[in-house]
């Protein structure tokens, strides 16, 4: 994932099936067979190709893949690292489930801190009081909705799914909507918003930021003229077609590219991979040292003030704290680099992100035999 400067990331693969139409037993059999075929064909392994979660999978699915690999490679001491997105009890890492949505939130925060961008768009340079329409209410869409409403003073006015959506100009109650969606498997009928049967009806509503968080090519030549947003922030992979992007750019709509905005999941998968390869969790080595260091600082301050400061067990960073802070640092640094490149060469953010990524690959390979050849 050169765009965020980590040695990880790659292609996509999977099985063309609707998991909702399979029983749990059928899904497990299919998943395990897929893992067996990949492993026996030499296409999967900790140092070959590491599988990660995507549409239609969850932590249980990934645990099945890891377990099946371990049966075929019982002597691989790094076998846990063959797949990411596992349950924590099976070698997963804290924060992986929400990582794509949280990484998106960190990236959006940094983009909107750019005064030049926000002034051009007629927005304030922060996340507060922005209105959103989210396309897709799966894992990524849900967590983005949660973070922009709970961590910032954002307002999600509309959410779309494949069978329709719900809209409320005063803002949707995300917690209540999540309960409704989990219970009924649809956004339709939610009493906290108006139900729409066609996605285009909600896409045509005004908002500051449109977030495609579903599948590819959902913003295209057929609906691009309907959009009334100032920013399209891509949370799905390739959700905007080339023709739609050209049209939106000409209208002055800023597009925040998928290659950067949705990389939080891959980043945290890398953290999980490193944990599995090293056989140790992020905070295990430093927890006790950090606690004693904090106690020493507290005692020093107490001595300067000539008072006695009482304390219980001081808080030290948990694995989740470490993962989320590292994620924030990588996302923020990568967005800053993209902003700098875009400004330097007067190019859009997508081109800037790719330019940075390709340049990092070049710098890595320039002294290798690959480049010499």
Mean pLDDT of 178-188: 95
Cα dihedral 230, 112, 146, 101 sign? positive
Cα 95 to Cα 117: distance, rounded to the nearest angstrom: 31
* Residue found under tokens 């295209």: 220
State the CB neighbour count (10 A cutoff) for residue 46: 19
Mean pLDDT (whole number) for 328-334 = 97
Place of tokens 């768009």: 121
Residue 285: band (very low, low, confident or very high) from pLDDT cuts 50, 70, 90 = confident
Asked if residue 370 has pLDDT above 70, the reply is no
Q: Could you read off the pLDDT of 65-94 as tens digits, one per residue?
A: 999 999 999 999 999 999 999 999 999 999
Which residue in the block uniquely carries the two structure tokens 């694995």?
319
What pLDDT, on the 0 to 100 scale, is given for residue 315?
72
Place 339 in a pLDDT band, splitting at 50, 70 and 90: very high
pLDDT category of residue 311 using cuts at 50, 70 and 90: low
**What's residue 314's pLDDT?**
65
Burial of 97 (0-12, 13-18, 19+ CB in 10 A): buried
Q: Residue 10, exposed/middle/buried by CB under 10 A (0-12, 13-18, 19+)? A: exposed
Residue 101 predicted with pLDDT over 60: yes
Q: Give residue 298's pLDDT.
A: 78
Stretch 258-282: mean pLDDT, rounded? Answer: 93
Cβ count near 136 (within 10 Å): 24
Instruction: Give me the residue label for tokens 């996509």.
Output: 12
What's the mean per-residue pLDDT of the chain? 92
> What's the token pair of residue 168?
């409320």
Strands (DSSP E) along 172-272, which ranges? 194-196, 209-212, 231-233, 254-256
Give 184's pLDDT tier (boundaries 50, 70, 90). very high
Structure tokens, 23: 């029983």
In tens, the pLDDT along 6-20 reads 988 777 788 999 998
- Token digits of residue 265: 């999941």
Residue range 88-117: average pLDDT? 95
Integer Cα distance of 245 and 221 in angstroms: 9
Q: What is the pLDDT of residues 28-42, one digit of tens each?
A: 999 999 999 999 999
CA 329 to chain centre: 14
């Amino acid at each position: 994932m050169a765009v965020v400067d980590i040695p990880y990331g790659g292609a996509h693969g999977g099985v063309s099936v609707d998991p909702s139409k399979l029983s749990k037993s059928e899904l497990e059999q299919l998943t395990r067979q897929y893992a067996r075929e990949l492993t026996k064909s030499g296409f999967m392994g900790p140092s070959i190709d590491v599988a990660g979660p995507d549409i239609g999978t969850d932590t249980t699915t990934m645990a099945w893949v890891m377990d099946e690999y371990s049966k075929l490679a019982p002597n691989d001491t790094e076998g846990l690292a063959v797949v990411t997105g596992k349950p924590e009890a099976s070698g997963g890492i804290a924060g992986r489930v929400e990582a794509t949505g949280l990484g998106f939130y960190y990236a959006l925060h940094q983009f909107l801190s750019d005064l030049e961008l926000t002034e051009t768009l007629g927005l304030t340079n922060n996340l507060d009081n922005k209105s959103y329409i989210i396309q897709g209410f799966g894992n990524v869409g849900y967590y983005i909705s949660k973070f922009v409403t709970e961590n910032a003073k954002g307002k999600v006015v509309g959410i779309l799914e494949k069978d329709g959506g719900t809209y409320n100009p005063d803002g949707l109650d995300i917690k209540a909507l999540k309960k409704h969606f989990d219970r009924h498997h649809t956004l339709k009928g939610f009493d906290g918003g108006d139900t729409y049967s066609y996605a285009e009806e909600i896409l045509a509503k005004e908002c500051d930021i449109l977030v495609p968080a579903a599948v590819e090519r959902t913003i295209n030549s057929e609906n691009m003229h309907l959009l009334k947003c100032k920013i399209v922030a891509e949370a799905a992979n390739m959700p905007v077609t080339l023709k739609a992007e050209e049209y939106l750019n000409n209208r002055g709509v800023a597009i925040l590219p998928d290659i950067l905005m949705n990389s939080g999941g891959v980043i945290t998968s890398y953290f999980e991979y490193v944990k599995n390869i090293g056989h140790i969790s992020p905070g295990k080595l430093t927890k006790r040292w950090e606690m004693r260091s904090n106690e020493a600082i507290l005692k020093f301050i107490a001595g300067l003030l000539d008072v006695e400061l009482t304390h219980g067990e001081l808080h030290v960073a948990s694995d989740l704290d470490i993962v989320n802070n590292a994620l924030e640092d990588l996302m923020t640094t990568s967005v800053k680099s993209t902003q700098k490149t875009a400004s330097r060469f007067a190019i859009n953010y997508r081109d800037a992100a790719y330019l940075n990524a390709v340049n990092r690959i070049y710098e890595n390979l320039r002294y290798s035999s690959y480049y010499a050849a």
